[in-house]
Amino acid sequence: FTHIPINRPRCPMRHFQQDGHMAMENPKGRANYEPNSWGPKDGGPREDPKRGFRSYAEPVEGEKTRLRPESFADHYSQARQFYVSQTAVEQKHIADALTFELSKVQTMDIRLRMLSHLLNIDKDLARKVAKGLGVSDMPAAAKPASKPLPDLPVSDPLSILKNAPDSFAGRKLGIFATDGADADLLNALKEKVSAAGGMTAIISPKVGGITLSDGSHIEADEKIDGGPSVL
């Protein structure tokens, strides 16, 4: 909406907005974010203290300026507090997610740069991610723009598992089963889950179902490779 000719500034603006609803331009370039590792040619617009926008320093009671508290430059304290507040399972999920995403990054320097940031958040987290990436020589920790606060307390509300409901009601349990599965065990499991207010879903190699140990046949709710991606 702000890009259409009647609304946009008369002065051309360079930014990283691309695509989207009612976009009027199609800016080229390899990166659509900043900071990035590409040079002036592919890296997109850069701040220019001389030619870029500056607030008019109107004398009122001093100069009008655009300033932020120093704490805005602290990029690590909240991340550290969030990480240390998680359970061991959740911390593993975070480390695995970082390893997965950084494995998609083709530029080694960027992987190392991210590890240098992780060292300022939690050294154990950085080591786990480095091991998953196959990095043996750890980089030095990144120099913080503002001194982080390493003593922020653990906050249990930041964890999902620490606040999980103490009930199975309303949840669904996926049961992986194949031909020959123990009928008594399967039926007992379904009864227990139902008594707790939960639901079950039979997941098998074929959506047509399976034959249990007592010869009975049950339909499957999901095919293993056709169910939700969470499987």
Which tokens go with 125?
A: 């987290």
Task: Using pLDDT thresholds of 50, 70 and 90, give the confidence band for residue 3.
Answer: confident
**Choices 1.20.1370.20, 3.40.50.300, 3.40.50.1010, 3.90.420.10: CATH for 74-158:** 1.20.1370.20
pLDDT(15) > 90: no
Q: How far apart are CA 123 and CA 140, in angstroms?
A: 11
Q: How far apart are CA 210 and CA 179, in angstroms?
A: 5
Architecture of domain 165-223: 3-Layer(aba) Sandwich (3.40)
Main-chain phi, psi angles of 174, to 5 degrees: -85, 130
Highest averaged pLDDT of the listed ranges 6-20, 181-195, 215-229: 181-195
| Residue limits of CATH 1.20.1370.20 in the chain | 74-158
| Residue limits of CATH 3.40.50.880 in the chain | 165-223
The mean pLDDT of the chain is 89
Average pLDDT on 85-89 reads 98
pLDDT(45) > 80: no
Q: How far apart are CA 35 and CA 117, in angstroms?
A: 14
Distances in Å between the alpha carbon of 1 and those of 24, 26, 93?
A: 9, 15, 39
CA pseudo-torsion sign 137, 129, 127, 145: positive
CA pseudo-torsion sign 102, 105, 108, 113: negative
Main-chain phi, psi angles of 193, to 5 degrees: -65, -45
pLDDT in tens, 162-172: 998 888 999 99
pLDDT(231) > 60: no
Q: Looking at this protein, which amino acid is placed at residue 85?
A: S
pLDDT(74) > 80: yes
Q: Looking at this protein, which amino acid is placed at residue 176?
A: F
What is the structure's pLDDT at 176? 94
pLDDT in tens, 92-115: 999 999 999 999 999 999 999 999
What is the structure's pLDDT at 66? 86
Element (H, E) at 202: strand 199-204
The two counts, helices (H) then strands (E), for the chain are: 5, 5
Distances in Å between the alpha carbon of 167 and those of 108, 187, 193, 196?
A: 45, 21, 11, 8
pLDDT in tens, 113-167: 999 999 999 999 999 999 999 999 999 999 999 989 988 999 999 999 999 888 8
Parallel, antiparallel, or unpaired: how do β-strands 199-204 and 172-176 relate?
Answer: parallel
Q: What helix, strand, coil percent values describe the chain, rounded to 5?
A: 30, 10, 60
Q: How far apart are CA 188 and CA 194, in angstroms?
A: 10
Residue keyed to tokens 């701040």: 47
